[in-house]
Amino acid sequence: MTTLALQPHVLRWARERAGLAVAELAKKAKIKPEKVLGWEQTGKLTFGQIEDLAHHTRTPLGHLFLAAPLKERLSIPDFRTVGDHSVGEPSPDLLETVQTMQRRQNWMREELIEQGQEKLPFVGKYNLKATPEAVAADMRKLLDLQSSWAKSVGTWQAALVTLRRRVQDLGILIVFNGVVGNNTHRKLNPEEFRGFALSDGYAPLVFINASDAKSAQMFTVAHELAHLWLGLDAVSGTDATLPANDKGEQLCNKVAAEFLIPAKEFPKAWDATEDAADRYEQLARQFKVSPIVAARRALDLHYIDRATFFQFYRHYIKVEHGTKGSNGGDFFATQHVRVGEHFGRTVIRAAKEGRLLYRDAFQLVGFGGATFDKFAKDLGVAE
């Protein structure tokens, strides 16, 4: 059987790019690990094996024939850091997710302009000289939320539902998804990224990694909204509550903290939990945030010092098993948050009115046929 000679370091790059160990790739390809190691030492594979490798590593076939690994970069600013260090090149899952959301945004933008939509005034309303208090207050005002709104909501889930609906009502495309598209075999890793924002005057978009803990998602929503108010695109990483080197990220962190735990609300809550061993957990339940965000807010407002914060931070990270987002449940309820009602209705109406090919509509929402029809009926736009 004819073999082809590829560059071994390109084959290794493809495997590592997909986040696969040698044994994991071997299991997917149903071969022995020694075979994978042989490929990465000699570069010799049959064309069929090259196709299998491309499939299992989610690498475009042509990339495997390159003389050197392709340097893939996100098309928007990348702030995925742990402390002061970058988390590395983006995975195929993150790259594909960003590209999919950009296609949705581009289509929605053109559709809204064609329908006579005016620009949304809050996108890019503030610059980096703004105070966190001013931006957070404006966010709450436009979202019609009181400073203590989260305290009156029973659970993190209910708080997220409330916030998502208010965000969508403003004309923001907001997506919660824990997998790539609808592929439950490609789970998005919250250790790689928690969310991103795509700023646009007509169709701003916020994406939240639904594989993350619900309490962490609250901070991510607020953080990405701050990006829109500042008119900034960005992918956010795992340590969003910790200081960032970028001034825009620093301000977004502060805006998110003020939005979720207003400075004027904090003293009373802090005093009420003075004797509690689980003080930060109690604060977290009140404001519907993670305990880390509660502790970080205490640090920002000078209720604790940095040593106390980092002692708690390290302990919490070590033992945390937070309640992760679920990909189960009713399929169409899930599609509501994966697609968004506003976006879904707009696409469906465009298709039914003949302004959008059904083939393109299926691609935009990620499913078609009878599933598309049922989704349309679920959204109240069926014929």
Q: pLDDT for 260-291, tens place per residue?
A: 999 999 999 999 998 888 999 999 888 988 88
The phi, psi pair for 170, rounded to 5°, reads -80, -10
**Between 228 and 155, whose confidence is greater?**
228
Residue 294's pLDDT is 92
pLDDT mean across residues, the chain = 87
Q: Is residue 207 within 8 Å of residue 95, measured between CB atoms?
A: no
Is 338 exposed, middle or buried (CB count within 10 Å of its CB: 0-12, 13-18, 19+)?
A: buried
Separation CA 44–CA 74 (nearest Å): 31
Residue 382's pLDDT is 67
Instruction: Kindly tell me if the per-residue pLDDT of 325 is higher than 50.
Output: no
Instruction: Kindly tell me if the per-residue pLDDT of 322 is higher than 50.
Output: no
DSSP string across 77-126: -EE-EETTEE--SPPHHHHHHHHHHHHHHHHHHHHHHHTTPPPPTTTT--
DSSP state of 205: E
Bridge partners of 235, per DSSP, are 78, 196
CB atoms within 10 A of CB 156: 22
Separation CA 196–CA 236 (nearest Å): 6
Angle at 223 between CA 217 and CA 226, to 5 degrees: 145
**By mean pLDDT, which of 59-68, 115-124, 241-250, 303-312 is the weakest?**
241-250
Q: Is residue 222 within 8 Å of residue 251, measured between CB atoms?
A: no
The SS3 of residue 278 is coil
pLDDT over 90 percentage in the chain: 56
The phi, psi pair for 68, rounded to 5°, reads -145, 155
Residue 106's pLDDT is 96
**Between 375 and 71, whose confidence is greater?**
375
Instruction: Kindly tell me if the per-residue pLDDT of 245 is higher than 60.
Output: yes
Residue 329's pLDDT is 56
Predicted TM-score (pTM) of the model is: 0.82
Separation CA 36–CA 176 (nearest Å): 36
Domain regions of the chain by residue span: 4-65, 78-319, 331-378
C-alpha dihedral, 123 to 215 to 314 to 193, nearest 10°: -50
CB atoms within 10 A of CB 162: 17
Topology (CATH) of 4-65: 434 Repressor (Amino-terminal Domain) (1.10.260)
> Which of the four pLDDT bands, split at 50, 70 and 90, describes residue 327?
very low
The alpha helices in 170-237, defined as continuous H runs, are: 214-229
**pLDDT tens track for 6-30:** 999 999 988 988 878 899 899 989 9
Residue 328's pLDDT is 47
The phi, psi pair for 242, rounded to 5°, reads -90, 160
Nearest to 287 by CA among 111, 156, 175, 161: 156
CB atoms within 10 A of CB 382: 12
**By mean pLDDT, which of 21-35, 80-94, 255-269, 360-374 is the weakest?**
80-94
Instruction: Kindly tell me if the per-residue pLDDT of 182 is higher than 90.
Output: no
**By mean pLDDT, which of 4-18, 166-180, 239-253 is the weakest?**
239-253
Give the pair of three-digit tokens for residue 131: 């105070």
> Which of the four pLDDT bands, split at 50, 70 and 90, describes residue 242?
low
